[in-house]
Structure 1
Amino acid sequence: MGESNGGSIYGDAEARRRRTLDAAAALLDEGGYSALTIRSVAKRSGTSTGLIYQYFADKQEIFMALLNESQLESTAFVAGLARDRGVTALLTEVIAESARQWGRVGRVTSIWRDTDGSTGPDRESIREVHRTAALYNEELLRAVTEAALKEGRTLLDDDAALPFLLSGLQGVADTIVNNWASHLDPAEFASFSAAALTRAITLTEPID
């Protein structure tokens, strides 16, 4: 997520929005979703609640904006990865980025769903999050497929392959962020996990 510049934010609408999101991300990191309130964001960002309400209807809209931004950043990251080093190398880098994004926003998504997430799918912000999630899924599938072809592998032709990969990446990221495997070096754990996921979703011989 981008960093806002110093100085006054009152004359720049985009800077105000950026400062709001940066403040919200910091609050999520420090205290989870319960720490995210319009008042706390206003105080942290050095602005007023009235100004924040000009851009976001409530704290759920702020969280949705952060989640959407995270998914767009992840999509761009995957799109820029080299395909010529194989699936395991590609997934190792994806895991690192997934852990970064999971630590900033993703890990509190389940808490959000238990509180505000049941307000319905008709919100434009929720539809946008579903759209950017689909973009990420498509880009990840494309990247893995292309990387597999580069090393003579074939992605399993099974509808479960992508959901399995996504859940595996999320689980590894969660383990790294929460330090649940503290006896392991995070980089070595990421490499092992990437290799295991590669074996699970690819074949070494092309399908006839």
Structure 2
Amino acid sequence: MNGTNGKSVYGDAEARRRMTLDAAAALLDEGGYAALTIRSVAQRAGTSTGLIYQYFSDKQEIFIALLNESQIESAAFVEALPRDQGVAALISQVIPHAAKQWGRVGRLTATWRTEVGDARLDRESVHEVRTTARVYNEALHTAIIEAAALEGRRLRDDAAVLPFVLSGILGMSDTLVNHWAPEVTTAELVDFTAAAITQGITAH
């Protein structure tokens, strides 16, 4: 324990890391991936670049940490959703959360991949992101299967079911983040999309 303030060194380190990630998320929201630099993160967090480097080797590691965190949060969100309201109701709850995560960091993954190229594949942290992506995908698939069973539905026996669901949610997330359908309310758009996805993946 720290004798002066009663906080552990671990706790302080976690708080500083959290402060760094929050500052990075704000910069990404304001200016995209190009706005993310070690210097800009340090300035936004009110700390030094040296302190940032204690936790992250470069800006890529900061972005990857945010992406990984987003997927972990998404998996936990899906796992906690009720199943007894049916598939469409479950998906309609997933979409707004997915849109929030997409707006925060997901929409910038293509820019990151383009800038970094194949060099990103050598990073251990990227392997962790792939793992948490699988965890999210499995959580979503399980939730849909369970919701379908509870309302007496059966999913189509096709390997394309999960990719179809994921692409539908992703596409709607992009639409919501960019406000591409101002003539329709968010609730109407989400409900329509959830119903359409449900129709596409359930056996008739």
TM-score normalised by length of structure 1: 0.91
Distance apart, 1:171 and its partner CA: 0.1
Structure 2 contact 66–105 (Cα < 8 Å) conserved: yes
Please state if 1:145 is matched with 2:124.
no
Which residue pairs with 1:101 in the alignment? 101
User: Higher helix proportion, which one?
Assistant: 2
- SS of 1:120's equivalent in the other structure is helix
| 1:59-108 deviation per Cα after TM superposition (whole angstroms, max 9, x unaligned) | 00000000000000000000000000000000000001001111111111
Aligned counterpart, 2:181: 181
* Aligned partner letter, 2:159: D
Structure 2 CA distance for partners of 1:22 and 1:201, relative to 1, 3 Å: same
1:198 aligns with: 198
- Superposition pairs for residues 112-131 of structure 1, below 5 Å? 112-131=112-131
Residue type of the alignment partner of 2:91: L
| Secondary structure at the counterpart of residue 166 of structure 2 | helix
Label 1:186 to 1:151 Cα distance change in 2 as closer, same or farther (>3 A). Answer: same
2-structure distance, mates of 1:138, 1:91: 14
CA 1:71/1:106 → structure 2, altered by over 3 Å: closer, same or farther? same
1:118: how far off? 2.7
Residue identity in the other structure for 1:41: V
Give the counterpart letter for 1:150 in structure 2.
L
1:164 shift after superposition = 1.0
Q: In the alignment, which residue of structure 2 is the partner of 1:170?
A: 170
Q: Which amino acid aligns with 2:32?
A: G
TM-score (norm 2): 0.93
For residues 194 and 175 of structure 2, what CA distance do their matches in structure 1 show?
14
Cα displacement (A) at 1:120: 3.5
What are the within-5 Å matches in structure 2 for residues 11-160 of structure 1? 12-160=12-160
Following the alignment from structure 2 to structure 1, what is the Cα–Cα distance between the partners of residues 118 and 174? 23
Per mean C-alpha deviation after superposition, the further-off stretch among 155-164 and 39-48 is 155-164
Q: Which runs of 5+ in 2 are unaligned?
A: 1-8
More displaced stretch, 150-159 vs 118-127: 118-127
Structure 1: segments with no counterpart, 5+ residues: 1-8
Q: How much has 1:117 moved relative to structure 2?
A: 4.5
Deviation sequence 1:8-62 (CA, Å, 0-9, x none): x9x8111110000000000000000000000000000011111111110100000
Asked if the contact 2:95–2:173 (Cα under 8 Å) also holds between the matched residues in 1, the reply is: yes
Identity %: 65
